[in-house]
Amino acid sequence: MSQTNEKAVLTIDGKQIELPVLTGTEGHKAIDISKLFDEHGITTFDPSLGSTAACRSTITYIDGDKGVLRYRGIPIEHFDRPKPNFIEVAWLLIFGSLPTFAELRNFRNMLTDNELIHEGLRRQFGDLPPKSPPMAILSAMLSQLACYHEKFLPLGDEELFGEAAARLISKVRTIAAYSYRRSKGLPFVYPDPALRYCANFLHLMFSIPYQQYIVSEEIEDAMNLVLILHADHEQNCSTSTVRVVGSAKANLFASCAAGVSALWGPLHGGANVEVIKMLESIQSGGLKPEDCIKAAKDKDNPFKLFGFGHRVYKNYDPRAKILRAVADRVFARLKTNDPLLDIARKLEELALKDSYFIDRKLYPNVDFYSGILLRAMGIPTNMFTVIFAMGRLPGWIAQWKEQHDNPNQKIIRPRQLYLGNKRTDYVPIEER
Ligand code: CMC
């Protein structure tokens, strides 16, 4: 980041205030207002932070107008073919460069060594109601890792951080799969150390005692890609949540558990579930694609075209572009079809020629096609957002670390524009 010679001049109360203008390596300019309050007693107003750069970051770059997404400078399309392993991408995001063979091997070994969860934690699944939402379980269980791994709660030790990150990435897969098995009343199977990350996850989901689930190469590849495409997305809602919680010096487990809660929302990671619900209601005849488009445009109707629109992308989300093509590839290779894919294509076609969507630059986002692909792998709808969380975890960890490594980071504590009562007296209850 560098400061330019340019200054932004703010005129307020007849006074001129010069503000530094910053540039990054790419992307938008930023007016530095960080001293505005301390020096001039003025705040800025940006409730959804749409015009605010809340941090400096070197992890992920997005150009929303051009539909560009890069991890540590590498375009997202490079991760489609030839495919790296999700674990390699996790390392890249967290530690800043592609791992060497030795680094990758060590990290993988750490994941394998930590794939079991404490039996005490495992037993807790049994006490949960079978219909518990898997995202509620995931958030609670990630938070509870702090109860079983207290060693990792103090911050500041680089080696311990690496171990904590490996533990989280490994255990999240076991916890995620167990949340599904709990909902099905199936016995828990243990992770298989001989399997790679995605194959092991699918084994944990679908193997039953004495009958190992054999994962096909297509499905393993598709799962690997889904996780990679979700691995980071700069300062989105859940990542910002992780940063806010982490800025209070909360430990990594607590910060990531908070990220899961944010991701659960239907405007964020929960949108992939809403997309499938919408496509299914069209399939069952309850709704026509044209009705969906009409309802989404109606300002008196809270309905949204889920899987469409994005705070940053004002172009086709590059992840959706890849997922759309991969869905075609996977269905062709598996020699199957999903009528929901045809419905999704029809909806996309209608939306992309409708002036409402054109004028607002609303395009398919990552959630529009990811559910269809996950369905092809046999993943039930209530697990979609959990898989998004598994994918996003390395991003959360990377962003937590970047923030934590910044010696100048202060607790995140915005201000407000107060609209409440002016000073008023307390009235005792008997006088009201
Ligand atoms: N359907 C209908 N109208 C929409 C949609 C949509 N999906 N998305 C945005 N709009 C309208 C919005 O009502 C507004 O209209 P107007 O200018 O007339 O008031 C205009 O487009 C601009 O949208 P916005 O509300 O300013 O956009 P935002 O940046 O606040 O919200 C969003 C972004 C993703 C929350 C929103 O597009 C949305 O709700 N989409 C559906 C949910 C969804 O698919 N979420 C997943 C996002 S991608 C994965 C992730 O990050 O989790």
For 51-103, the pLDDT digits (tens) are 999 999 999 999 999 999 999 999 999 998 777 899 999 999 999 999 999 99
CA pair distance 332, 378, nearest whole angstrom: 16
H/E stretch holding 20: strand 15-23
C-alpha 168 to ligand 1 mean position (Å): 31
To the query of whether residue 80 is one of the catalytic residues in this protein, the response is: no
- 321-350 pLDDT, tens digit per residue, is 999 999 988 888 888 888 999 999 999 999
Peptide bond into 414 cis (omega under 30): no
- 21-38 pLDDT, tens digit per residue, is 999 999 999 999 999 999
The CA–CA distances, whole Å, from 289 to 40, 118, 273, 347, 396 equal 54, 47, 17, 6, 36
3-class secondary structure, 358: helix
Cβ atoms of 234 and 62 closer than 8 Å:
yes
pLDDT of residue 1: 57
Closest to 170 in 3D by CA, of 215, 120, 114, 127: 114
The two three-digit tokens of residue 44, written as one number: 């800025």
pLDDT, average across residues 371-380? 92
To the query of whether residue 367 is one of the catalytic residues in this protein, the response is: yes
Return the residue whose CA atom lies nearest to atom 39 of ligand 1.
Answer: 267
With cut-offs at 50, 70 and 90, classify the pLDDT of residue 405.
Answer: very high
Residue from 232, 275, 278, 304 to probe ligand 1 pocket by mutation (most atoms less than 8 Å from CB): 304
Virtual CA dihedral for 193, 196, 198, 200, nearest 10 degrees?
A: -20
Residues with CB under 6 A from ligand 1: 236, 267-269, 271, 296, 304-311, 360, 362, 365-367
Return the residue whose CA atom lies nearest to atom 51 of ligand 1.
Answer: 268
203, 230, 233, 310: the catalytic one is: 310
Sign of CA dihedral 218, 224, 226, 229: negative
Neighbouring-strand partners of residue 60: 71
pLDDT over 90, % of the chain:
87
Which residue is it, tokens 């001049």? 9
